[in-house]
Amino acid sequence: MAPKTDLIPWEAAGDVSHGALYFAARDHLVRLPQDLPRLLRVPGREGAYVRLGALMRARSDLFLPEGGPLYEFRALRLLESERHRADWDELAQALEARQEGLPTLLVAEAGFPEAWLSRLREGLGLLPEEVLPLAPPLDLGFLEALAAGGPAEWRFPPLRPERPRAFLKHPLKRLLERDLLLHHPFEAYAAVERFALAALEPEVEEVWATLYRIGEENPLAETLIQAARMGKRVHVLLEGRARFDELLNLRWYLRLLRAGVAVLPLSERKVHAKALLLLTREGGYAHLGTGNYNPQNGLLYADFSLFTAREGLVRELAAFFRALEAGRSPSLSLLKTGEAIQRFLVEATLAEAHPKGRVILKCNHLTDPALLEALVQAAEKGAWVDLLVRSTLSLLHPAFRAQSLVGRFLEHARVAAFRRGGAWEVYLTSADLMPRNFQNRFELLFPVLDREARRKVLKALKRQLKDDRNRFLLTPQGEKWLWEGKRDAHRP
């Protein structure tokens, strides 16, 4: 029986789907359906596997009418909806109408025949510089299965995160003493879920939360449902436009609604802030974070959580939520959102534009032109500028110390630190430093006001800036890898 594959004529090359794995043959293109395993066990040989792509090359006669070699490729596209603004009752229809947008990149196996590659590239409407040759395999989704089924020595030893015992026992009581800052996953993400459970305490009357990518199972969301069923006023900003999680979040929307949770209408801007607010008659308690309220991410993503009962922060977070409920832009002081984040970061950076200045920025993406220009000015005036950017940096100046950290955990925290004449100021944020995050999203930037919490963030940053196991430097001359040393920022 022939394997389940899709044969496509070369004339349809311009219609290949985003991210799917294809093979090119002389007269056809072959698509591998997503549900086919990419890794197959070898019968009778424990721990031995064969890659599906290699097997297909060996037996192409089973599914191709012609013989000849096969070459792997994938195309990446912008995924876009015809409707940029859709509320909950329109979301399903908007998703159904979502189109695969313009191709942006063609990843092709090294050695791809040049004539075939040109034909494929032209069919997709791409420039030669938008083609990336790589050695196969091009679809690395099988690595998780390989690690799970392979020898134990292939895997990292289990991480045993620290547990803040006093907080886990009585979170609200503990926060009346001082703020708490945690660095996940080195410190247990369970503390976030325990804080959410405090919503069920008798003194908590009202709950506000933002939910973005929360997964299929989520104890925090279940707590919000339970609190609503207890008669508490629970308000949720559930973002229905979290890309690729829209249908899952639509299901959560229906569950929350049935439980009596007030799910706010989707705002014009995507809500990407990470905040949970518990209000009592006397005041309130807040969690502000850099990561998603997702238990799986809490085990794999490196993020910061700030828990506080500070009156100013609680009051401003309540103002943030109530403004979004009313459909207006928040007016904040201690907290920043939207374009105010960009303005603040630019001003704080320019204030460091002198020989004793010091700036540390950590994020996934740094592409905002105004902020990059401010960083250039600061560096050229003698400031020490450290950039920890995991994925995208669109300007590289010789005076920057630009680097990336890629290791056991996904670096996801966003941090801004300024020395301010000797006394460090530290800020955490949900926002990557990109124009779209400032202009089209409601993010939150918040100060770390507790001295011990500030010291803890700076200690983590400085460990990462000295890491020589997971870090590489970005220079105008290229990358310099620091992967063989003993200073590992991903070890507790």
Closest CA to 334 of 318, 349, 346: 318
Active site residue 272: yes
Choice among 272, 287, 365, 490 that is catalytic: 272
Calpha distance 462→417 (Å, rounded):
11
| Cα separation, 14 vs 52, whole angstroms | 25
One-letter identity of residue 320: F
Catalytic residues: 272
